[in-house]
Amino acid sequence: MTTQAPRFWRSIPQRYNLKGTHCTRCNEYFFPPRNLCPNCRRGAHLEEYTFKGTGTVVTYTTIYNATEFFERLTPYVLAIIQLDEGPRVTGQMVSSPEGVRIGMRVRPVFRILGKEGDRGIIYYGTKFAPQTEQE
């Protein structure tokens, strides 16, 4: 596999800290950041915005058959999360398949997403965990 280091490095602020954009004209939030707002189709009103990372599970699946890179994780849960500010994201759940349901509240957790072999770089980023009662 060729290294993904350059493309990963470029998006560290988004992957580590959930930095996206907010269109002040349309009051719509975007993650990952967009260069143009699909509503007003302009870029002039976009400002950086850091998402809280809390949200709700819209749908999910348990993956038993993955690409080579993710095989060691199977079975793992992948979900589409609706962030509280509005946009939806795809991410892994840190939970057993039985512990996930549609409509469940989640919070972000900082995790290793993958490694390029034994000597290659390590990718970190955001996964999601079920929110406990107190949260």
Partner 1 sequence: MRSVSIIGVGCTKFGERWDVSLRDMIAEAGVMAIEDAEIAGEQIDALFVGNMSGGRFVEQEHIGALIADCAGLSRLHIPSTRVEAACASGGLALRQAILAVASGYNDIVIAAGVEKMTDVSSGTAADALAAAADREWECFFGATFPALYAMMAKLHMRRYGTTHDQMAQVAVKNHHHACMNPIAQYHMEVSIEDVNKSPMVADPLHVLDCSPISDGAAAVVLASTDVAKRFADTPIRIVGSGQASDTLALHDRRDLTTLDATVHAGRAAFAQAGIEPRQVDVAEVHDCFTIAEILAIEDLGFVEKGQGGRATEEGFTALGGSLPVNTSGGLKACGHPVGATGIKQAYEIALQLRGEAGRRQVDEAEIGLAHNVGGSGGTALVHIFMR
Residues within the interface to partner 1 (CB under 8 A): 7, 11, 32, 58-68, 70, 73, 76, 78-80, 87-92, 97, 102, 113, 123, 125, 127
Give the shortest CB-134-to-partner 1 separation in angstroms.
Answer: 27
CB of 22 or CB of 127, closer to partner 1 = 127
Q: How far apart are CA 134 and CA 85, in angstroms?
A: 21
CB of 49 or CB of 123, closer to partner 1 = 123
Give the shortest CB-130-to-partner 1 separation in angstroms.
Answer: 17
Give burial (CB, 10 Å; 0-12/13-18/19+) of 40. middle
Nearest to 56 by CA among 104, 128, 101, 127: 104
CB of 69 or CB of 130, closer to partner 1 = 69
Can you read off the two tokens belonging to residue 53? 């990372």
